[in-house]
Amino acid sequence: MRLCVNIDHVATLRQARGELEPDPVTAAMICELAGADGIVCHLREDRRHINDRDVHLLRELVKTKLDLEMSIEPQIVSIACKVRPDLSTLVPERRQELTTEGGLDVIGNFERLKNVIRELQSNKIEVSLFVDPVKEQIQAAADLGVEFVEIHTGFYANAVSEEEAKEELEKIKESAILGRKLGLGVNAGHGLNYLNIIPFREIKEIEEVSIGHAIISRAVFVGLFNAVQEMVKIVKGI
């Protein structure tokens, strides 16, 4: 399984002072040195953390893979088409939310998504749709001809009992199997940490995980290089 590190929260810390440090671009370089397979950032419409300058520099400097998380708002889509990340992960976005709160309603937004996906793909950008572990949403993603889905793992991560976590994990596994069967690449993410990631090593259909908050939080205490390296070892079972 590959590990992509989301560096948004390095930018969150920078924005807390409105100054230049810490720089998420430097963070991305350290993540790559520590063995990350890719870098993820979310250019939000309100620019609350990652900004346009970060995205342009990341595109220039990231040597592994750049995954731009984004809404389907036309201004953001136009930036993506210019920057050309390796992957665009489309997510729902609401201004008041603290973080992405759930998967896209692919069925309900089918026509809008179709146009955005066509525009991104015609600029040679692969597209991933962030979806809840729900069969119909995975099927709709496949119908739209995207290359990947990212299964939302937030319900699993927030489960309040072992039993609930097991049920949520089962949904994720079934969705991953379906995604592969439909020819999609399958990623997963949201709320994953150093402990709850472990069962994912057994789900062979999941190619990649996207992890941010847990790694950046640990980095405060052990340093970013160590925090990433530890997660790389867990994800790859080494």
- Give catalytic residue positions: 42, 69, 190
Q: How far is the CB of 100 from ligand PXP (least distance, A)?
A: 3
Cα(first)–Cα(last) distance of the chain, in Å? 11
Read off the amino acid at residue 236. Answer: K
Q: How far is the CB of 231 from ligand PXP (least distance, A)?
A: 10
Binding site for ligand PXP (CB under 6 A): 6, 8, 42, 69, 89, 91, 99-100, 130, 150, 189-192, 210-214
Q: How far is the CB of 218 from ligand PXP (least distance, A)?
A: 11
Cis, bond preceding 22 (omega within 30 deg of 0): yes
Nearer to ligand PXP, 8 or 37 (CB): 8
Nearer to ligand PXP, 130 or 156 (CB): 130
Nearer to ligand PXP, 87 or 140 (CB): 87
To 5 degrees, how large is the angle CA 223–CA 226–CA 231? Answer: 125
Q: How far is the CB of 209 from ligand PXP (least distance, A)?
A: 8
* Dihedral pair phi/psi, residue 70, rounded to 5°: -160, 160
Read off the amino acid at residue 135. Answer: K
Token couple for 87: 């992957």
Residues 143, 105 contacting (CB under 8 angstroms): no
Nearer to ligand PXP, 16 or 122 (CB): 16
- Whats the size of the chain, residue-wise? 238
